[in-house]
Structure 1
Amino acid sequence: MIVFLAHYLGLLHRSERELAAAFRDVAAGHGAEPDVVRACERLAGQCDDHMRRLVPFVGRYSEEAPDEPERLHSTLFSGTRAGGLGLLRDLHDLYLMAAECDLSWTMIGQAAQGVRDESLVEVVGRCEGETATQLLWLRTRMKQAAPQALVVATG
């Protein structure tokens, strides 16, 4: 079981790093959307904090370093896109990356309960909640951007 925990710790550690970088890319690429810039910079900081909070557990349980997060990031992001549709697609990609983190937090939380590691359970509770908030913000902002991006006005 500890071997699988090490796998998910590695997966999550890298996923959080890649998500932070992607949030920063989107903030930099959509400067005309001040709310997106501010939110993405704040959410990138949360991802950085999540990585810091994982460090003691990586030391305790080890960490396997799967390359899935880098592959996901490189598949989704080859640079930010321009315009309203570009913003919508970039937010969509961020959502998929955040969902990867969310699932990993859930798996690690289950393992933490299994090994009775209360400090890891506490970290998972905090970070999983913040990741859920990231997903909520992304979904809400996509809903806001979708009508303008997807409906072409005819005149």
Structure 2
Amino acid sequence: MTGITTTLRTLHNGERDLEEALLAAAERHRTDHEFHHVAIDCARWSREHSARLAAVGHHYGLDLPGPHDHPTPGALAMLREKAAEALGRRPETGLLLLHDLRDLHLAAARNSVHWEMLAQAAQASRDERLLELVSSCHPQTLRQMRWTNTMIKVLSPQLLLSV
């Protein structure tokens, strides 16, 4: 296994994990509509990234799994939604949101570092396939990081001073 295949596998797993974390946070903070919808959009990017990484991985002899299957919402999802509505924006839920944003930011930053490593390897080896993948996916990861960082900046003063 080469450094590129190891990094592709690590990044693929990181994008899948970030997708799951974004969807879980979106569900937990369902009553914060802006957060909920942007988190779902960011999760779609990570889902697309993992699918594209799996496709490119085949070129390198990797058999990476495709995107996760997400079950259709059922009774448990409805119960979580009702609980989120009942809690609303209480200080405790605000702190949970900040912790989720921190974790999401760190996961996106970790993925960004791997995208950068792949970009450097692609440039050095003149691998057009890998360079195209990085060029189209890494900017979205950077946008995920900017979104989480901006949300932390906006929410921290309000939430940390009100507790």
Instruction: Flag whether TM exceeds 0.5 (same fold).
Output: yes
- Structure 2 Cα separation of the partners of residues 24 and 127 of structure 1: 19
CA contact (8 A) 1:24 1:40 kept: yes
- Structure 2 Cα separation of the partners of residues 62 and 97 of structure 1: 26
The one-letter amino acid paired with 1:41 is I
Which residue is 1:26 aligned to? 25
2:8 pairs with 1:15: no
- Structure 1 Cα separation of the partners of residues 62 and 159 of structure 2: 41
Structure 1 residue 56: Cα displacement: 2.6
Q: What stretches of structure 1 of length at least 5 have no aligned partner?
A: 66-81
Which residue is 1:54 aligned to? 53
- Structure 2 Cα separation of the partners of residues 137 and 148 of structure 1: 18
- Structure 2 Cα separation of the partners of residues 9 and 103 of structure 1: 12
Structure 1 residue 64: Cα displacement: 9.1
Q: TM-score, normalised by structure 1?
A: 0.82
Of residues 107, 110, 116, the one that matches 1:100 is 110
How many residues end up aligned between the 2 structures?
A: 136
Q: Secondary structure at the match of 1:151?
A: helix
Which residue is 2:41 aligned to? 42
Structure 1 residue 51: Cα displacement: 1.1
The one-letter amino acid paired with 2:135 is G
1:12-70, Cα deviation, whole Å (9 max, x unpaired): 000000000000000000012100100000000000111121123211113498xxxxx
Which residue is 1:134 aligned to? 144
Regions of 4+ moved over 4 Å: none
The one-letter amino acid paired with 2:104 is L
CA RMSD of aligned residues (A): 1.7
The one-letter amino acid paired with 2:16 is R
Which residue is 1:146 aligned to? 156
Structure 1 residue 92: Cα displacement: 0.3
Q: TM-score, normalised by structure 2?
A: 0.79
CA contact (8 A) 2:54 2:63 kept: no
Structure 1 residue 114: Cα displacement: 2.2
The one-letter amino acid paired with 2:123 is Q
Structure 1 residue 112: Cα displacement: 1.2
CA contact (8 A) 1:7 1:63 kept: no
Alpha-carbon spacing, 1:62–1:149, altered in 2? closer, same or farther (3 Å): farther
